[in-house]
């Protein structure tokens, strides 16, 4: 009889492991806390074009924790509220400097794609210096002590990348 019970326990455990490996389980939990930001200098427009990718569940949690309000990227009725929360969050947790001067980010929009939110911003960069770029990125540092933020910077088609492990905040690029 004990062999039969152990057999069913093994089958149940295998099924649970298989289930947690599917997208179903990944929607509510993922093993990595990571964001990715891509910053590209548009020389013609003299501006930076920035997209940041953050897991939706993590982003909602941090917005709720910091701003003490409901955050739901899938609720269309909350879109104006979400626009304000996202703007406030991204402009205080991501910054770009060149020649020691802060380039203020301008919120452009956001969209949900599967399990992630993409946030789009721009920054006017009339005197951009590709030899002197400083990025400060603290996305989700308010939530996770194992957070990893990847930063890609592109100038004239040349791409450089770096990563920031919590608590690292700043990275520099030179082209």
- Distance between CA atoms of 173 and 139, rounded to whole angstroms? 19
Least trusted range by pLDDT, from 12-21, 31-40, 124-133? 12-21
- Distance between CA atoms of 175 and 3, rounded to whole angstroms? 66
52: helix, strand or coil: strand
Q: 52-101, pLDDT tens digit by residue? A: 999 999 999 999 999 999 999 999 999 999 999 999 999 999 999 999 99
Kindly report the number of other CB atoms within 10 A of residue 39's CB atom.
21
Cα distance from N-terminal residue to C-terminal residue, the chain: 70
pLDDT for 31 = 74
- Distance between CA atoms of 96 and 47, rounded to whole angstroms? 12
- Distance between CA atoms of 172 and 154, rounded to whole angstroms? 13
- Distance between CA atoms of 10 and 14, rounded to whole angstroms? 6
Residues 17-31, mean pLDDT to the nearest whole number: 46
DSSP string across 20-89: HTSHHHHHH--S--EEEEEEEEETTTTEEEEEEEEEHHHHHHHHHHHH-S---TT-GGGHHHHHHHHHHH
Among 113, 114, 107, which residue's Cα sits nearest to residue 90? 107
Among 61, 63, 39, 68, which residue's Cα sits nearest to residue 152? 39
Q: 153-163, pLDDT tens digit by residue? A: 999 999 999 99
Annotate 78-91 with b (16+ C-beta within 10 A) or e (fewer).
eeebbeebbbebbe
Q: Do the Cβ atoms of 87 and 152 come closer than 8 Å?
A: no
- Using a cut of 0.85, tell me whether the model's pTM lies above it: no
Q: 113-162, pLDDT tens digit by residue? A: 989 999 999 999 999 999 999 999 999 999 999 999 999 999 999 999 99
């Amino acid at each position: 009889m004990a062999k039969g019970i152990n057999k069913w326990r093994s089958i149940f455990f295998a099924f649970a492991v298989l289930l947690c490996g599917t997208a179903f389980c990944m929607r509510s939990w993922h093993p990595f806390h990571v964001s990715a930001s891509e910053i590209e200098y548009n020389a013609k427009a003299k501006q930076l074009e920035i997209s940041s990718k953050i897991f939706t569940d993590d982003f909602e949690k941090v917005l709720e924790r910091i701003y003490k309000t409901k955050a739901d990227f899938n609720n269309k009725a909350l879109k104006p509220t979400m626009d304000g929360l996202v703007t406030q969050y991204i402009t205080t947790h991501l910054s770009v400097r060149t020649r020691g001067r802060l380039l203020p980010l301008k919120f452009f929009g956001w969209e949900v794609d599967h399990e992630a939110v993409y946030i789009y911003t721009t920054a006017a960069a009339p005197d951009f210096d590709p030899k002197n770029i400083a990025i400060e990125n603290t996305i989700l540092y308010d939530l996770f002590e194992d957070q990893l933020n990847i930063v890609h910077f592109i100038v004239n088609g040349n791409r450089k990348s770096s990563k920031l492990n919590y608590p690292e905040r700043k990275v520099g690029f030179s082209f």
